[in-house]
Amino acid sequence: RDNQGQFPLTQNVTVVEGGTANLTCRVDQNDNTSLQWSNPAQQTLYFDDKKALRDNRIELVRASWHELSISVSDVSLSDEGQYTCSLFTMPVKTSKAFLTVLGVPEKPQISGFTSPVMEGERMQLTCKTSGSKPAADIRWFKNDKEIKDVKYLKEEDANRRTFTVSSTLDFRADRSDDGAVVSCRVDHESLNSTPQIARQVLEIHYTPSVKIISSSLWPEEGQSIVLTCESKGKPLPEPVLWTKDGGELPDPERMVVNGRDLRISFLNKTDNGTYRCEATNPIGQNSTEYVLIVHDVSNTLLPIIVIPSLTTATVTTTVALTTSTATSATAINTRDPNALAGQTAPDHALIGGIVAVVVFVTLCSIILLGRYLARHKGTYLTNEAKGAEDAPDADTAIINAEGSQVNAEEKKEYFI
């Protein structure tokens, strides 16, 4: 008949262990001929819509003249194999579907880790995962950077279906690895592209390394200096030990150690010497030195320091003038101090001119002040004449006013 030449159609199925597999068998044209599914052990599972094997995990999905579909839930590794769909024509026609069951790798474990590890020691970390089918892939990373060419070992598990895979990382501990995160990554088709990762933070102990940092490049007498002893090491070396010329710090009043810092205040030439910072941790010790040379105070900056102290007094005004010109002269002659002598001659004229102007202004203001005072005395006098008749007192007042003017004249002459 019509379906004489036709074979049933099936498809291979891959399912993750514990999942559900659908087995589908189709026939395009069928004149009421029966369909059947049987398992790898040749046991009939379904004959049309009739269940043949007692197994709660196997259920009918659809049964018609054109299709027989069944599902197997909670699939185990032993369910793997070749399933057969048969169409009961004469002769019987069959089609095979292979059910592949994937073994899910267990969460990987890193072994061989000891903490802490001394710098220079050999470290062997092994990452292992069982239960994968097919064998899983293992990769190593250090701080997200892949480590290549690592040994890989594959063993069959006791069930003879899945595998235990392991990989061993072999390296010498270095201080730069302290705190690094080493991770073992397991990729497998059963993991839906979310790999299983085991991580291990390395702790590597190493001897201290020390460095002295000075707060000043040119320490001068009277200044203060801070020497910082930067020390690294695992465990962290703390505290650090400061010494001078192989002995204790000679002046604890001025030489104060605070944590890693040595602060020397009011530097003095006797502070010259070799300062040593020593750092010790349980692994070992290390030290470094700093040679301190205290320099003389440089004088060139002194006039500039005077300037902010200038105030209102007339005497200091002239001082301000000379210092300001002096600083302008030094500013010009910073490169060649010998040129200072040649420069002073034109400067004298300049200073003279400015002094003259200042004296003139001072004179004028004194005169104006004198007149002002005299006028006030005058008004005061007339007011008194109206109220009473203390003429002799007014005379003394005028004399006093004149006297102040004389004083001003004297002052003027003093200034010239």
Binding segment for ligand NAG among 102-110, 181-189, 205-213, 332-340 (CB under 6 A)? 205-213
- What is the nearest approach in angstroms of ligand NAG to the Cβ of residue 295? 6
Measured from the CB atom, the residue of 136 and 278 that comes closer to ligand NAG is 278
- What is the nearest approach in angstroms of ligand NAG to the Cβ of residue 31? 4
Residues constituting the chain: 416
| Spatial distance between the Cα atoms of 197 and 181, rounded to a whole number of angstroms | 12
| Spatial distance between the Cα atoms of 68 and 46, rounded to a whole number of angstroms | 8
Is 333 a binder of ligand NAG (CB under 6 A)?
Answer: no
Please pick, from the candidates 14, 95, 209, 330, the single residue that binds ligand NAG as defined by CB under 6 A.
209
109-111 and 117-118 strand pairing: unpaired
- What is the nearest approach in angstroms of ligand NAG to the Cβ of residue 114? 22
- What is the nearest approach in angstroms of ligand NAG to the Cβ of residue 195? 23
Number of residues that bind ligand NAG (CB under 6 A): 20
Measured from the CB atom, the residue of 32 and 309 that comes closer to ligand NAG is 32
3-state SS, residue 237: coil
Amino acid at 351: I
Is 43 a binder of ligand NAG (CB under 6 A)?
Answer: no
- What is the nearest approach in angstroms of ligand NAG to the Cβ of residue 301? 18
Measured from the CB atom, the residue of 27 and 366 that comes closer to ligand NAG is 27
| Spatial distance between the Cα atoms of 144 and 180, rounded to a whole number of angstroms | 10
- What is the nearest approach in angstroms of ligand NAG to the Cβ of residue 355? 38
- What is the nearest approach in angstroms of ligand NAG to the Cβ of residue 292? 8
Please pick, from the candidates 99, 123, 210, 366, the single residue that binds ligand NAG as defined by CB under 6 A.
210
Angle at 353 between CA 351 and CA 359, to 5 degrees: 100
Q: Distance of alpha carbon 293 from its chain centroid, rounded?
A: 36
Residue 99: partners with Cβ closer than 8 Å, 6 or more residues away: 12, 13, 14, 15, 21, 23, 72, 75, 79, 80, 81, 82, 83
- 60-79 residues in contact with ligand NAG (CB under 6 A) are 61, 71
Is 31 a binder of ligand NAG (CB under 6 A)?
Answer: yes
- 3-22 residues in contact with ligand NAG (CB under 6 A) are 12, 20, 22
Measured from the CB atom, the residue of 269 and 371 that comes closer to ligand NAG is 269
Burial class (CB in 10 A: 0-12, 13-18, 19+), 13: middle
44-47 and 50-51 strand pairing: antiparallel
Alpha-carbon separation of residue 229 from 108, 125, 165, 257, 294 (angstroms): 44, 36, 49, 11, 19
Measured from the CB atom, the residue of 202 and 294 that comes closer to ligand NAG is 294
Measured from the CB atom, the residue of 32 and 311 that comes closer to ligand NAG is 32
Burial class (CB in 10 A: 0-12, 13-18, 19+), 273: middle
3-state SS, residue 240: strand
Alpha-carbon separation of residue 153 from 135, 136, 137 (angstroms): 10, 11, 10
User: 81, 133 in Cβ contact below 8 A?
Assistant: no
Q: Is the bond into 237 cis (omega within 30 degrees of 0)?
A: no
Measured from the CB atom, the residue of 233 and 370 that comes closer to ligand NAG is 233
Site string for ligand NAG, 264-303 (x = CB under 6 A): ----xxx-x-----------x-x------xx---------
- What is the nearest approach in angstroms of ligand NAG to the Cβ of residue 269? 4
Please pick, from the candidates 98, 113, 171, 415, the single residue that binds ligand NAG as defined by CB under 6 A.
98
- 358-397 residues in contact with ligand NAG (CB under 6 A) are none
| Spatial distance between the Cα atoms of 259 and 194, rounded to a whole number of angstroms | 48
3-state SS, residue 197: strand
- 229-248 residues in contact with ligand NAG (CB under 6 A) are none
- What is the nearest approach in angstroms of ligand NAG to the Cβ of residue 268? 3
Provide the 8-state DSSP code for 314.
H
Residues lying near ligand NAG in the complex (CB under 6 A) are found at 12, 20, 22, 31-32, 61, 71, 98, 207, 209-211, 268-270, 272, 284, 286, 293-294
